[in-house]
Structures are given as structure tokens and as C-alpha cells.
Amino acid sequence: MENLKNTTNWDHEHILKVNRSISTYVAKEEIIEEKVRKRIEPWLSAIFQSEHLSVLLGAGLTTAVTSIASLPSQGMWRIDFEGVYKEHIKAYADKKAAKSDRGKANLEDDLRTAFELLAGLQIAGHEVDALQLKTSIESALSEFISAILKTEEQFKEALEANFKKFDIEMMFDDKYESRAEQEKLDYQKKAEEALSYLKSFLTSFASRTASRDRLNIFTTNYDRFIEYACDMAGILLLDRFMGKISPIMRSTKLELDYHYNPPGIRGEPRYVEGVARLTKMHGSIDWKFQGKKVVREPLQFGASGFMNESTEAVVIYPNSSKDIETDFFPYADMFRDFSAALCRPNSALVVYGYSFGDSHINRIIEDMLTLPSTHLVIIAYEDSAKRIKRFYEKHNPAQITLLIGSHFSDLKNLVDYYLPKAAIDKISVKAHELKERRGDKEPQNKSGEGGFDEWDS
């Protein structure tokens, strides 16, 4: 058997591995879209029709969307805590990040370390130091949540061409008005384009035949870009929350779904198409602890401010309530869903915008790959930390597809060239069959529309 692990040049910017074929490119200018599309799209089309399909979306998705909209995205900066333990926290976070193959530590590592230290100080009875550290943690969490909300707010403002900054400047400068209006329209056009690509990206996965297992969407993101785009695209989402006014997360996973009764047929309900199951593995900015329950509070996409005065109740990883019961709830339920969706025969997982920096997530993906009929597709902007390389080399290459590089991970390129246009495939297939029966032959379609191109001829 050919050793694919040793033939891949991981130093090149772009890596494409489809089936048993590997290509590497030094620069994206070397890539001819129509040529590589003939390899990528039919392969992904087959994978997307797996019996069980899941997609894992990381922070790279939000970055890709805001990049198209020419807007900044929230980062994962380091935290400088106040007090005598400042350097201790930073050093321990660096040590833990290196041990877990994450590489450089980030905000989550700092917060996790600070919470562990806070518990130790409270146990030891160092109340003054504990109070100072708790205040610093609250401030850091508040800043982080505000940055997430700011990203949503800027995107929503761009969509509505409603920029407070421009409006204030126009009040004091009449000459500025026409230029400000044009800038508003430019931002609006870019934001609408970004939302359109995000909707098309999600629809490519969600437009599965209703008789197949529902798409599972897993994300480590705290923001609501996925939910917002699904609402705009008409994709129905199912999660663990029950209720309308104040939805409560249930530990009991009810297999609820959407059905309809066809006209003239009674007693035979059919599945509604365009339904997906959403799991936010690290929590969300609109999830709150309410006693021992987790509720989803009404917080509009693009809200201008944080509704809860205390960040301690916000359900975002690694923040948690104090008692031992909620230290593992709801995260244990989220990861149980992740494991149950992946670790079964004929399952496929598509990873986008996730850098393989979380060992607890990687372990479940590794367990999935112990089943020979499973498959993993990795779409990544880059692999400078070599985490994807190390993961790939530990497993069977035949079970992994790679699309690495700024060209392959570009949201526009994925939607325009490489992802299957599942929403219209049925019409295209039927038209193709009718033409074959009549003996009609048409010129090859170079545009890629309708789900067919040169490789179909």
C-alpha cells in the first residue's frame, strides 16, 4: 500500500488530498479552480450522502464571514490578570497549552487556569486574594462577551446600513453626507454577500434527503452567526431546549423532528426537508444558569449590550456555576451528543475552521476513525502549529480528506466551486436522465451551475 503519510509536503501552503490522490501547491495562483473542482465536488457529493453526516464548525467560520463583510472578528487574546498571581497564571496556562498540543495559550487557557487558582485560594482561605482574582475574572469575561456581541452588532448594522458612527459624523459635516451614504451602501453590500455565502454554505450540508439521518451541526463558537443564517435560509434547527418564553435545556434527549401530512394521504407523515440538529459544545452567550437549570434568555442577534449584570451565570466554556453538579452540566450532555453522532458506522464528519487544539474533541474524532466505514474531511486555512499534520499521521489516510490553505478554506471558493449544490441536485439529476433517454447532447457546462460539469459527460 502506498504510504500517503510520507508523500505529503506539509511545508507547502496548500494541500489537497482526495481519495488516494495528493496535490500540494506553493501558492494559490497555481490552483486552477475548474481543474481541481472535477476532483473535489463529486468526492464531497458522495461523502455528503453518507448515512450519518456531521459538521464541526470552529472560530474560523466567523472569521471567514466577517472577512467577506470587511468587518473585524473577535480574537482570542491573552488576559493580564491583576494581583500577585499574574505571572503564575500565564506560566501555568502556557504549560497546559503545550502539554495538550494546543501550542500557544489563549484566553480560554488563561480563564481555565484562573478558575482553578480561584478554587484553590478559596479552599485555602485566602479571601482577599480570591476576591481580587474573582473581580479580575469577571472583568475579563465581561470584555470577552462584549467583544462577541460587538462582532454581531457590527454585522447587523452593516446589513441594515445603520451605522451610528456615520450618522454622528454627518450631523456635523454636510459635505461628508454623500460619501458616508456610499460607504454605508458598500458595507451593506459586503454584509449581504457574506450572509448569502454563509447561508449557501450551511444549505449545502442541510439539504439532505429527508429519509436520511438529520445533519448534526456542532460548533465551539459562542456567537449566533450559525443560528442567524439558518433562520434566514429557512433551515429548521433542533436542540436540547424546550419551551417558548424561557426555553430550558433538558438532559433527556427527546428525538423530536418535523413532519407534515401529504395532501390526500392520512396516517403517513413525512419528514420535512432542511432540518438539522445544533449542538453548541462550549455554550453560548445567550445561555444562562438559573439556579440548577440552563435557560436560553432572549438576546437578539446584534444586541448592543450584555443583558446580565453578572458574567458568572453565563454558560460559556470554561465558565461554570460553583457546585459540582453544574461543573459538568451542560458540557457533558453536549459531548455525549457529539460522541453518539460520530462514533457509529457509515458516519462522516466535515471540520471547518477548527484547528484541532481541543484534546477532548480530538479524542472523540479519533474514536470515530477506529470504525473503518467512517470518514473525516478537514478544511482549514493553515496548519502552522502542525496539529492537523500530527492528527493525520496517526490515522488511516484513506479515511481522511484534506483541503488545507487559504484558497480551499475561502468561503467564496467553497460555495462557488467545491461544495455540492444539494438543493438543486434532484432537478439536475432528473433533467440529465430525461436528456439521456431522448439522446440529447448539450455542450459541457463550465460554469458549475446545476450540480453537473465536465466530469458528468
Residue 457 CB: number of other CB atoms within 10 A?
10
- 28 or 126: which leads in pLDDT: 126
pLDDT at residue 273, rounded to an integer = 86
Residues in the chain, overall count: 457
pLDDT at residue 324, rounded to an integer = 39
The answer to whether residues 36 and 452 touch, using CB atoms and an 8 Å cutoff, is no
Q: pLDDT category, 453, cuts 50, 70, 90? A: very low
What 3-state class would DSSP assign to 457?
coil
What cell does 204 get?
449545502
pLDDT at residue 309, rounded to an integer = 54
Selected from 3.60.20.10, 3.40.50.11260, 3.40.50.1220, 3.30.1700.10, the CATH number assigned to the domain covering 4-72+195-433 reads: 3.40.50.1220
What cell does 248 get?
430550558
Buried b / exposed e over 419-440, threshold 16 CB at 10 Å, is: bbbbbebeebeeebeeeeeeee
pLDDT at residue 444, rounded to an integer = 47
Residue 53 bridge partners (DSSP): 348
Domain ranges of the chain: 4-72+195-433, 86-186
- 319 or 303: which leads in pLDDT: 303
pLDDT at residue 175, rounded to an integer = 58
314 membership: H or E segment, kind and range: strand 314-316
Phi-psi region of 399 (alpha: psi -120 to 50; beta: other; left: phi over 0): alpha
The answer to whether residues 154 and 147 touch, using CB atoms and an 8 Å cutoff, is no
Distance in angstroms (rounded) separating the CA atoms of residues 197 and 416: 9
- CA neighbor of 64 nearest in space, from 76, 73, 55, 56: 73
Own/partner long-range contacts of 355-359 (Cβ < 8 Å, ≥24 apart): 355/58, 355/60, 355/380, 355/385, 355/387, 355/388, 356/387, 356/388, 356/391, 357/100, 357/101, 357/102, 357/103, 357/385, 357/387, 358/102, 358/220, 359/100, 359/101, 359/102
Residue 408 CB: number of other CB atoms within 10 A?
23
The answer to whether residues 191 and 69 touch, using CB atoms and an 8 Å cutoff, is yes
Q: pLDDT category, 305, cuts 50, 70, 90? A: low
pLDDT at residue 457, rounded to an integer = 31
Distance in angstroms (rounded) separating the CA atoms of residues 286 and 308: 10
The answer to whether residues 206 and 275 touch, using CB atoms and an 8 Å cutoff, is yes
365 pLDDT exceeds 70? yes
pLDDT at residue 7, rounded to an integer = 62
| Residue appearing with cell numbers 486555512 | 381
Q: Which of these ranges, 71-75, 90-94, 366-370, has the smallest mean pLDDT?
A: 71-75
Beta strands in 353-413 (DSSP E): 375-380, 400-404
Give residue-wise pLDDT tens across range 168-218: 555 455 555 666 677 888 889 999 999 999 999 999 999 887 778 999 999
- Average confidence score pLDDT of the chain: 84
Please list, in sequence order, all residues whose beta carbon lies within 8 angstroms of the beta carbon of residue 321, skipping any fewer than 6 positions away.
289, 312, 313, 327
- Cα-flanking dihedrals φ and ψ of residue 254, to 5°? -85, 130
Give residue-wise pLDDT tens across range 217-270: 999 999 999 999 999 999 999 999 998 888 999 887 777 888 888 887 777 888
Average pLDDT over residues 397-424: 89
